[in-house]
C-alpha cells in the first residue's frame, strides 16, 4: 500500500543524518518553508541535502524500473515527481541555496558505495563551494 511508503525518516536518510551528525554537523530536518522540503538544511552554510529514492524520483539506475501494472497512473505520478524536483531545485538555486542530492543507489543495491563513503562525500561538499552536486552508486 502506498500509504505505508515513508516520505521522510527513511533508512537512507537516517544513515546520512547520523553520519553527518557524528562528524559534528548540525542541521534542521524537513524545513517546509523551503521549496521541496529538503531532508537536511544547513542554514549557516546556505546548503540543503535531499536523500532521494531512485524509484520515486526517476533516477536512471538499476533501482528504477517502470511498473508493469497501472502504467498510466505510475507514469503520471513519477513524471510529476521529477518535474517538481526540477522546479524546487531551480527555486532553491534562485534563492542562493547550495543543493546536494544523494540517491538511494549510493547507499543500497548492487552499485552502493563503500559504507560511509556517501557521508564523507557529503561532508566534503558541505566544506566546499560547489552549488550543486549529486552522489549516486557505482
- Band (pLDDT 50/70/90 cuts) for residue 6 is low
Residue 50 has pLDDT above 80, yes or no: yes
Residue 7, pLDDT score? 66
Contacts of 40 (CB under 8 A, 6+ apart): 16, 17, 20, 27, 28, 29, 48, 49, 51
Residue 10, pLDDT score? 92
Top pLDDT among 62 and 9 is at: 62
- Band (pLDDT 50/70/90 cuts) for residue 9 is confident
Q: Which helix (H) or strand (E) segment is 49 a member of?
A: strand 47-52
- pLDDT tens-digit map of 56-80: 999 999 999 999 999 999 999 999 9
Radius of gyration in angstroms for the set of CA atoms belonging to the chain, rounded to a whole number: 15
Cβ atoms of residues 63 and 104 within 8 Å: yes
Residue 1, pLDDT score? 45
Structural domains in the chain, CATH included, are 2-28+46-135 (3.40.960.10)
Helix 11-22, helix 117-127: angle, nearest 10: 60
Q: How far apart are CA 81 and CA 65, in angstroms?
A: 15
Q: What are 30's three cell numbers?
A: 524537513
Per the DSSP assignment, residues forming a β-bridge with 52 are 103
- pLDDT tens-digit map of 80-134: 999 999 999 999 999 999 999 999 999 999 999 999 999 999 999 999 999 999 9
Q: Angle at the Cα of 120 (from 25 to 10), degrees rounded to 5?
A: 70
Amino acid at each position: 500500500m502506498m500509504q505505508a511508503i515513508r516520505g521522510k525518516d527513511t533508512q537512507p536518510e537516517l544513515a546520512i543524518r547520523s553520519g553527518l551528525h557524528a562528524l559534528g554537523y548540525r542541521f534542521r530536518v524537513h524545513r517546509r518553508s523551503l521549496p521541496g522540503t529538503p531532508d537536511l538544511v544547513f542554514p549557516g552554510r546556505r546548503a540543503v541535502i535531499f536523500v532521494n529514492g531512485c524509484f520515486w524520483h526517476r533516477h536512471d539506475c538499476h533501482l528504477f524500473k517502470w511498473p508493469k501494472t497501472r502504467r498510466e497512473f505510475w507514469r503520471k505520478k513519477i513524471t510529476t515527481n521529477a518535474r517538481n524536483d526540477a522546479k524546487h531545485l531551480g527555486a532553491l538555486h534562485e534563492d542562493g541555496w547550495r543543493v546536494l542530492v544523494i540517491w538511494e543507489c549510493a547507499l543500497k543495491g548492487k552499485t552502493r558505495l563503500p559504507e560511509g563513503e556517501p557521508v564523507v562525500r557529503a561532508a566534503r561538499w558541505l566544506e566546499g563551494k560547489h552549488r550543486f552536486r549529486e552522489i549516486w552508486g557505482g
